[in-house]
Amino acid sequence: MRKLVSSILAIILTAAALVAIQSQQAAAASYCVQIYRIWYNSPGTDTRTNASLNGEWISLHNRCSTARSLNNWVIRDAARHTFNFGTYRLGGGKYVRVHTGKGTNTATDRYWGQGNYIWNNDKDTAYLRNGPSGTLIDTCSYNNSSSSWVAC
């Protein structure tokens, strides 16, 4: 009986340690990854061409020296347009831009795949969450129609 209780306690302690490690990793990624900049007014006239749409983007920065998983992290705007990173790792010290239009995803550039603009030219708010309904990691707001971008 004593061996059974000891075995059960060992299993519980191991499971608790694994949960704690995963929580620490999520917290570390949260601290490391932040919204860096939003280029909300693409250059030139808003023509809705793919080139114009891709001139509008949001950039994230991993401030830590090691890569961080952004698996299923999402970016949303105030109107709840949502971009999901799917399976993705952001390298240590690296930046990634999420462009509004269509393109081929790379380590430094991701594409929302939209045919219309996401970021309002006068004011909006970006929300970074660590999952579709997850914890809020960072926000960045702007309220300036005379500029094209904001540093967050």
pLDDT digits (tens, 9 = 90+) for 28-66: 556 899 999 999 999 999 999 999 999 999 999 999 999
Phi and psi at 39, nearest 5°, equal -100, 95
Its domain, for residue 62, covers 33-151
**Mean pLDDT, residues 119-142 taken together:** 94
Q: Is the pLDDT of residue 15 over 70?
A: no
**Mean pLDDT, residues 111-138 taken together:** 94
What six digits make up the tokens of 137?
A: 């990691």
How many domains, in total, are found in the chain? 1
Any domain includes 1: no
Whole-number pLDDT of residue 8 = 46
Any domain includes 14: no
CATH code, domain carrying 71: 2.60.40.1260
Q: Is the pLDDT of residue 27 over 80?
A: no
Phi and psi at 25, nearest 5°, equal -65, -40
Whole-number pLDDT of residue 13 = 40
**Mean pLDDT, residues 129-149 taken together:** 93
pLDDT band of residue 2 (cuts 50, 70, 90) is low
Q: Which of 139, 63, 71 is nearest to 94 (CA)?
A: 63
Residues 35, 57 contacting (CB under 8 angstroms): no
Any domain includes 4: no
Whole-number pLDDT of residue 30 = 65
Any domain includes 17: no
Any domain includes 122: yes
Q: Is the pLDDT of residue 26 over 80?
A: no
Q: Is the pLDDT of residue 12 over 90?
A: no
Whole-number pLDDT of residue 131 = 78
Any domain includes 10: no
Give pTM, 2 decimals: 0.81
Any domain includes 38: yes
Give the distance, in angstroms, between the CA of residue 151 and the centroid of all CA atoms in the same chain.
16
Any domain includes 66: yes
